[in-house]
Amino acid sequence: MVTAALCLSIALMPMAVDAIPYTLDPEHLSVLRETLDEVGEFQQPYPALVDVTNPEDGTVDAAVDVSAGQLDDGTPVIVIEDDGAEDIARFLVLETEWQGLPAGTLLHGAGPNMAVVTHADDDASGLRAQGMLGFLDLLMAAPTLLDLDPTALALQLALKEVTGRVADDLPEFLDAFTASTAGEPVDETTLKRWQGRLPDTLLALWQRDGLARYLEDRLMLVNPDRYDAMLPPLLAGSALEGVDTFHVYGVTAFGQLFVCGENTAVEIVIDPYSGQVGMNPSMLAATDAEERSARLRFLLTMLEVKHLDLTDEHGHSVYATTRDRVGALARDEVYAPGPAGLVDGWESNLIRQNMFTSLEPMRTSSGRPEAP
């Protein structure tokens, strides 16, 4: 694995005169740089095609390790190490023009000898890059609370790597995961209606705490019935549409929706204000009720207050400053963007608003909301 600010001395191999370099577009190059600036070196799991020339052969679990580096002449590069095949391949992404190659150009090689990755049909490194770079779409779709909190990305990666190792002990989980504010009791009729459709872990919390708030009131559990009408516009055109029957089971203090499928993922986060749907596609495979319940326990165990908050320019908690300014949240309330929406300085102008009023545009929209 590589470390930040790795200094590389490379020898560039000759490229055919008519070859077309493989380059990342500015948007993908930007998201790589921004993620490195925010969280440092990171790992991103992704489903790697067994054969990039034949997608029907399916995928295998793979991951890339991404870090910052520079060439010995000071040219900044992004280092990507991919384990999507039997061997680990190293790619470099030029962040600026170098030796006549544009920013975004991919280099590939072992040791000091590196070659420009090209679009040529016989360039094996180009075929591998084509399959690997799908991780960028996952990176861009990762749920960031109001698109500002990079810890949500770290949480998603942790889920990918550790899911399945969480203790299968519901009583132990319930002892550790306690409500910060008690909620409205859930009656037996509601519990029975959702049995077998929602994870048992969630129903156990309902039965014990009602629709309570957790993590210093940053996350509240909700009755999915009241939110089901809002989901179709948010899912329209996303990778989730038509995959499963999905339900909202939690809402953050800022209005992000925690969503689970009846047969698939429990780790989906939707930001209704930007229209972002964050999830790991590898978790959309059908799973049994026991696994979904264990995965929800792990998700809730891993969540921390900082994952559900963000800081202003002075390093202060936006949740705390907003609560002090407009008051604590009542039932069904969230801190929502004001009438101006997500413009510069929005975090200082959040208002306390009923969740359903806040999402009224999503009730009537025929498609996903436009990102600001």
pLDDT per residue as tens digits for the range 201-223: 999 999 999 999 999 999 999 99
Give the pLDDT band of residue 310 (cuts 50, 70, 90).
confident
Distance CA 18, CA 38 (A): 38
257-309 pLDDT, tens per residue? Answer: 999 999 988 888 888 877 777 776 667 788 889 889 988 998 888 888 888 88
Give the pLDDT band of residue 345 (cuts 50, 70, 90).
low
Size of the chain in residues: 372
Distance CA 59, CA 65 (A): 19
The residue ranges of every structural domain in the chain are: 6-138, 143-308
Mean pLDDT, residues 332-354 taken together: 78
Q: Are 48 and 85 in contact (CB under 8 A)?
A: yes
The lowest-confidence range among 38-47, 242-251, 305-314 is: 38-47
Q: Buried (b) or exposed (e) across 191-227, using 16+ Cβ within 10 A?
A: eeebeeebbbbbbbbbeebebbbbbbbbbbbbbbeeb
What pLDDT shows up at residue 281? 64
Residue 166 reports pLDDT greater than 50: no
Give the pLDDT band of residue 21 (cuts 50, 70, 90).
very high
Higher pLDDT, residue 195 or 345: 195
**Which residues, at least 6 apart from 32, have a Cβ–Cβ distance to it below 8 Å?**
24, 66, 78, 93, 136, 139
What pLDDT shows up at residue 93? 95
What pLDDT shows up at residue 197? 96
What pLDDT shows up at residue 234? 87
Residue 153 reports pLDDT greater than 70: no
Reported pTM: 0.58
Q: Find which of 228-242, 303-317, 345-359 is predicted with most confidence, using mean pLDDT.
A: 228-242
